[in-house]
C-alpha cells in the first residue's frame, strides 16, 4: 500500500510540474518596433484567447532582418517595413497566411491590399502607414520654407536640424530634393545625393530616430526629418510645431504584419493579427502611436478628429507626390552602405 501511495504521489507531482509546460505552449512571440503598440492590447488579447503575448523589439529594419535569419522559430509575428517584406518573400523567410483565420481583413482599406511588395497578398496584412516629412518650429521656420526639402540646407538653421539615422530615408530625402526617385539605382544620382548630404552635415545637430520627437517638443531644434506619427505626437505636446510633406515629394510607407516561415505558433499568430484588425483594437493602437490606420472600421470609430487631421490623414495630392520604397538588391545594398559610410565619416 505504501508503494502504491508513493506512486500516486509521484504521479501527482509530475502532472503538476507538467501543467505549466502545457500552458506555456499557448503563446505568440511578437517582434515589433519600440513603442509601436498599446500594450493594453496584449492584456485584452490574453483575456479573450488565453494566449500570452511575448514581445521583443527592434530599432531598424536591418537589425530585424538579421535576427529573423539567425533565430529561426524565435518569432511568430513580425512588423517589417514594406520594402523588407519584398526581400523576406524573395528569401523564403515568410509563411503564407491562412486568411480564413483573418476575417477582420474586411476592414482593411482596399487600396492597401495587393501592394507592390506582396502583389498576391499572400504574406502580409497592413498594420500602420504614414509619410516622411519635416517637423518644424513654426515660430522660427515659415510654412513656405518648410514646404521644400531645401530648408534642410539653409545655413540659418545650422546645428538646429535633426536628420534620420536611416540610410533609405535620409538618402531618399536628398534624392527627392534633387528631383530623382527614392528608388533610383543610377550610380551617378546616388553619388550626387551622397555629396549633398556630406555638404549638409555641418548643419546637422544629430542623426537619430526615436529621440527626435521629444527633443523637438522641448525646443532643442528648429527642423527635423520625421515619420508622420512622431510628428503628430510632438505636435500634441507643443502647439508651435507643424508638419509638412515637401513639394518635391517623399516616402509613403506601410508597416505590415507578417509570419516567419519558421514560426512555432502560426495559428496563434493568425489569431493575433486578426485581433489587431478588429476596429476597436485598431483604434486603440492608432490613438496610442499616432500613425495612420489602414483600418476603415477604426477610421469610422474615430470620425472627424481623424479624417480632418492632414498629418495623419494626408490629402490625395500629398499621397500622389510620394512613392513607396522598393527592396534594394544585395549588390546595391553594398553600394548604399558605402555611400552612407561616407556621410557618417564626413567631417
Residue 60 has what pLDDT? 84
Residue 333 has what pLDDT? 82
C-beta separation of 94 from 88 below 8 A: yes
The residues near 49 (Cβ < 8 Å, ≥ 6 apart) are 268, 271, 275
Checking 41-45 for CB contacts under 8 A at 24+ apart, the result is 41/275, 41/276, 41/281, 41/284, 41/285, 44/275, 44/281, 45/272, 45/275
Q: CB-based burial of residue 270 (10 Å sphere; 0-12 exposed, 13-18 middle, 19+ buried)?
A: buried
Residue 21 has what pLDDT? 46
Residue 20 has what pLDDT? 47
CA dist 54 and 76 (Å) reads: 10
Write out 236-278 in H/E/C secondary structure. Answer: HHCCCEEEECCCCCEEEEEEEEECECCCCCHHHHHHHHHHHCC
Residue 7 has what pLDDT? 44
DSSP 55: E
DSSP alpha helix (H) spans, 91-238? 167-177, 187-200, 211-217, 228-237
Residue 330 has what pLDDT? 77
Which domains, from first to last, does the chain contain? Answer: 26-129+253-319 (3.40.190.10), 130-251+321-345 (3.40.190.10)
Residue 169 has what pLDDT? 93
Residue that the C-alpha cell 500552458 belongs to: 23
Which residue, among 219, 209, 259, has the nearest Cα to 76 in the 3D structure? 259
H helix and E strand count, the chain: 14, 10
CA dist 62 and 47 (Å) reads: 34
Give me the torsion for CA of 141, 325, 199, 133, rounded to 10°: 10
CA dist 186 and 97 (Å) reads: 36
Using DSSP's 3-state secondary structure scheme, residue 64 falls into helix
Residue 187 has what pLDDT? 92
- Residue 342: enclosing H or E segment and its boundaries? helix 330-345
CA dist 317 and 294 (Å) reads: 18
Q: What is the mean pLDDT of each run of 10 residues along the chain (347 residues)?
A: 42 50 73 94 97 94 92 97 94 97 97 91 97 98 98 98 94 97 94 97 94 96 96 96 98 96 98 98 95 96 94 93 89 87 91
Which pTM does this prediction carry? 0.84
Residue 203's CB is within 10 A of a number of other CB atoms, namely 18
CA dist 252 and 126 (Å) reads: 13
Amino acid at each position: 500500500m505504501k508503494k502504491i501511495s508513493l506512486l500516486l504521489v509521484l504521479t501527482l507531482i509530475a502532472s503538476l510540474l507538467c501543467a505549466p509546460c502545457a500552458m506555456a505552449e499557448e503563446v505568440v512571440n511578437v517582434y515589433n518596433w519600440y513603442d509601436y503598440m498599446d500594450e493594453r492590447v496584449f492584456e485584452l488579447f490574453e483575456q479573450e484567447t488565453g494566449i500570452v503575448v511575448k514581445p521583443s523589439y527592434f530599432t531598424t529594419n536591418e537589425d530585424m532582418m538579421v535576427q529573423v535569419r539567425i533565430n529561426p522559430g524565435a518569432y511568430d509575428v513580425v512588423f517589417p517595413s514594406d520594402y523588407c517584406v519584398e526581400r523576406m518573400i524573395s528569401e523564403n523567410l515568410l509563411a503564407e497566411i491562412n486568411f480564413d483565420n483573418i476575417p477582420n481583413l474586411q476592414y482593411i482599406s482596399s487600396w492597401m491590399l495587393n501592394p507592390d511588395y506582396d502583389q498576391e497578398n499572400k504574406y502580409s496584412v497592413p498594420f500602420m502607414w504614414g509619410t516622411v516629412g519635416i517637423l518644424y518650429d513654426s515660430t522660427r521656420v515659415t510654412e513656405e520654407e518648410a514646404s521644400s526639402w531645401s530648408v534642410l540646407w539653409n545655413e540659418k538653421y545650422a546645428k538646429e536640424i535633426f536628420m534620420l539615422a536611416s540610410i533609405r530615408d535620409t538618402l531618399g530625402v536628398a534624392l527627392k530634393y534633387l528631383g530623382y526617385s527614392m528608388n533610383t539605382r543610377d550610380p551617378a544620382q546616388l553619388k550626387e545625393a551622397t555629396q549633398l548630404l556630406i555638404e549638409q552635415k555641418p548643419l546637422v545637430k544629430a542623426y537619430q530616430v526615436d529621440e527626435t520627437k521629444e527633443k523637438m517638443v522641448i525646443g532643442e531644434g528648429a527642423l527635423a526629418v520625421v515619420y508622420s506619427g512622431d510628428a503628430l505626437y510632438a505636435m500634441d505636446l507643443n502647439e508651435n510645431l507643424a508638419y509638412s510633406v515637401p513639394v518635391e515629394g517623399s516616402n509613403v510607407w506601410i508597416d505590415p504584419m507578417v509570419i516567419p516561415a519558421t514560426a512555432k505558433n502560426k495559428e496563434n499568430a493568425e489569431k493575433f493579427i486578426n485581433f489587431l484588425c478588429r476596429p476597436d483594437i485598431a483604434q486603440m493602437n492608432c490613438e496610442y502611436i499616432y500613425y495612420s490606420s489602414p483600418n476603415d472600421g477604426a477610421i469610422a470609430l474615430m470620425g472627424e478628429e481623424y479624417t480632418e487631421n492632414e498629418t495623419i490623414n494626408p490629402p490625395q495630392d500629398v499621397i500622389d507626390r510620394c512613392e513607396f520604397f522598393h527592396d534594394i538588391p544585395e549588390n546595391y545594398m553594398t553600394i548604399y552602405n558605402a555611400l552612407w559610410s561616407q556621410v557618417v565619416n564626413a567631417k
